[in-house]
Amino acid sequence: MIDIFGPADLLLLVLGVGALGLKLWALVDAITRPGPAFPAVGKLSKPIWIGILAAAVLLGGTSVLGLFGLIGLIAAIVYLVDVRPAVREVRPGGPWA
pLDDT in tens, 9-32: 888 888 999 999 999 999 999 999
Give the whole-angstrom CA distance, residue 66 versus residue 81: 22
Could you tell me the pLDDT band of residue 63, with boundaries at 50, 70 and 90?
confident
Average pLDDT over residues 54-59: 94
Domain locations along the chain: 19-88
The one-letter amino acid code at 12 reads L
Mean pLDDT of 30-41: 94
- Contact at 8 Å (CB) between 56 and 73? yes
90 Cα distance to chain centroid: 20
Q: Are 7 and 65 in contact (CB under 8 A)?
A: no
- Higher pLDDT pick, 96 / 75: 75
Residues in the chain: 97
Alpha helices for 1-83 (secondary structure H) = 7-32, 37-40, 46-55, 67-78
Higher pLDDT pick, 7 / 24: 24
CA atoms within 13 A on the CB side of 35: 3
CB 29 within 8 A of CB 46: no
* pLDDT tier for residue 7 given thresholds of 50, 70 and 90: confident
pTM: 0.85
Q: Is the pLDDT of residue 91 over 60?
A: yes
